[in-house]
C-alpha cells in the first residue's frame, strides 16, 4: 500500500514542534502546529490549506507570520484551528502590522479562524481586502470531536491539559484506494489526473451504476466505464491511514485516558518526550511527558509506529537515550496489553 499521507516533522527533536503532512499525488498539505517553519520551502508552505495549532506558546505559533507573509497577494483560503482564546491570539498578530496597502492586492487572501471549546467552536473570517478586520460576528458551531471533514478524510481533536487547554490532533483516511497496475494495463489505461477524480468518486460514495469518464490528453479520446465495474477491475479497498499528534501535556490519569482512546488504532503516533524519566518530577512541574510515559501511552494505545520529539535542550547529545527509553516502554506496554487481551 502506498500511503496517502506522508507526515514528517519540520524540525529536529530539540527544535520547535510541527508536523507537515503532504497528500500523495496532490499539491496539498495540512500542518499540525505552527512553530518555526523556516525549514519548509515556500513551495511546501503554499501547499498548506489547513493548520491545526495545539496552543499558542511561542514555539508552537511563531510560524504564523511567515505563513501569512508568503500567502499575501495570493488567491488563497487558509483555515486555522486553535484552543480557547485563539481568535484573540490571531487578532493580536494581525493588529501588529499596518495594512494600508492590503486592499491593493489583486488576489485577496482569506483567513477562517476557528477556536475550539469542549462542546462548540467559534469561527470568524478575516479578509486581506478588509485589512484583516474581523468580518462579521463569530459563528458558533457544535463540536463533538471532528474539526474538519471531507469525503476522503477527517481531522479530529481532543482537548488535553498543559496547565492550559492544549489540543491533540489526528487525521484519518476514510479508507484507502489501492490502484491495481495490472488492472489498468488490461483496460488500456495509464495513470493520470483522472485517478484523483476516480478516488474522489469512491470516497463520495457515488452510485456504482453511474458512468465515469476517463479523460486523457487532447490527442487521445476519452473512455467511458460504469464506476462500480471499473472499481472492481482497478481498485482494492483497504482500511484508511491514521496519523496522530500529541504534544505539551502533563502525565495525569485524565490526560492518559484521553490520549490512549484518541490515538488508538493509529498507524503512526507523534508524541512529545521532553524529559527522561529520571526527571519525571520536573516533567510534572513543567506539565510535560517523559520519554517513558510517552512510550507507555503509545504502547497502551497499540499504535503501529511511534516517533518521539520535542526533547528538552538539557539532553543535547542524548537523543538516543530518550528514544531508547520511549521504545522500551512502548514495547513493554504493547506486550502487556496483548497479554491482557488474550486472558
What pLDDT, in 10s, does the model give residues 65-122? 999 999 998 889 999 999 999 999 999 999 999 998 887 777 779 999 999 999 999 9
Residue 343 has pLDDT above 50, yes or no: no
Share of the chain above pLDDT 70, in %: 97
pLDDT of 1: 61
Cell of 118: 469542549
Share of the chain above pLDDT 90, in %: 71
Least confident of 171-175, 219-223, 236-240, 258-262: 219-223
Q: Give 54-65 pLDDT, tens digit per residue.
A: 999 999 999 999
Mean pLDDT taken over the chain: 93
Q: Whole-angstrom Cα distance, residue 165 to residue 81?
A: 13
Res. 342 pLDDT band, cuts 50 70 90: low
Q: Among candidates 158, 227, 196, 142, which has minimal Cα distance to 26? A: 196
Q: Domain extents for the chain?
A: 8-174+241-324, 176-238
Q: Give 266-275 pLDDT, tens digit per residue.
A: 999 999 999 9
What's the mean pLDDT in 172-189?
A: 90
pLDDT of 176: 87
In 109-187 the beta strands, taken as DSSP E runs, fall at 110-116, 120-127, 134-142, 146-149, 153-161, 165-173, 176-179
Q: Whole-angstrom Cα distance, residue 76 to residue 73?
A: 9
Q: Whole-angstrom Cα distance, residue 260 to residue 253?
A: 11
User: What fold, for 8-174+241-324?
Assistant: Metallo-beta-lactamase; Chain A (3.60.15)
Res. 322 pLDDT band, cuts 50 70 90: very high
Amino acid at each position: 500500500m502506498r500511503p496517502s499521507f506522508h507526515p514528517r516533522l519540520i524540525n529536529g527533536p530539540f527544535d520547535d514542534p510541527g508536523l507537515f503532512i503532504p497528500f500523495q499525488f496532490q499539491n496539498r498539505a495540512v500542518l499540525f502546529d505552527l512553530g518555526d517553519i523556516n525549514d519548509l520551502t515556500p513551495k511546501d508552505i503554499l501547499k498548506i490549506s489547513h493548520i491545526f495549532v495545539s496552543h499558542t506558546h511561542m514555539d508552537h505559533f511563531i510560524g504564523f507570520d511567515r505563513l501569512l507573509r508568503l500567502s499575501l497577494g495570493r488567491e488563497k483560503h487558509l483555515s486555522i484551528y486553535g484552543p480557547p482564546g485563539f481568535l484573540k491570539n490571531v487578532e493580536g498578530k494581525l493588529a501588529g502590522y499596518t495594512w494600508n496597502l492590503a486592499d491593493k492586492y489583486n488576489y485577496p487572501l482569506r483567513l477562517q479562524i476557528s477556536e475550539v471549546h469542549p462542546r462548540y467552536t467559534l469561527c470568524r473570517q478575516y479578509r486581506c481586502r478588509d485589512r484583516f478586520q474581523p468580518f462579521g460576528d463569530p459563528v458558533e458551531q457544535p463540536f463533538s470531536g471532528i474539526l474538519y471533514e471531507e469525503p476522503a478524510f477527517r481531522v479530529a481533536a481532543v482537548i488535553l491539559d498543559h496547565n492550559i487547554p492544549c489540543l491533540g490532533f489526528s487525521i484519518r483516511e476514510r479508507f484507502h484506494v489501492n490502484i491495481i497496475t495490472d488492472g489498468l494495463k488490461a483496460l488500456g489505461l495509464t495513470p493520470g489526473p483522472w485517478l484523483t477524480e476516480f478516488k474522489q468518486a469512491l470516497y463520495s460514495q457515488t452510485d456504482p451504476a453511474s458512468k465515469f469518464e476517463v479523460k486523457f490528453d487532447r490527442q487521445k479520446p476519452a473512455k467511458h466505464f460504469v464506476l462500480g465495474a471499473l472499481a472492481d477491475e482497478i481498485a482494492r479497498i483497504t482500511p484508511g491511514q491514521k496519523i496522530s499528534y500529541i504534544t505539551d501535556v502533563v502525565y495525569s490519569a485524565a490526560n492518559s485516558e484521553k490520549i490512549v482512546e484518541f490515538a488508538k488504532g493509529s498507524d503512526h503516533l507523534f508524541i512529545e518526550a521532553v524529559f527522561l524519566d529520571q526527571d519525571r518530577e520536573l516533567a510534572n512541574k513543567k506539565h510535560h511527558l517523559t520519554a517513558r510515559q510517552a512510550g507507555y501511552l503509545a504502547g497502551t494505545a497499540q499504535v503501529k509506529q511511534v516517533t518521539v520529539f520535542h526533547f528538552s535542550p538539557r539532553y543535547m547529545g542524548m537523543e538516543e537515550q530518550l528514544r531508547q527509553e520511549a521504545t522500551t516502554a512502548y514495547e513493554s506496554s504493547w506486550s502487556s496489553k496483548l497479554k491482557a487481551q488474550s486472558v
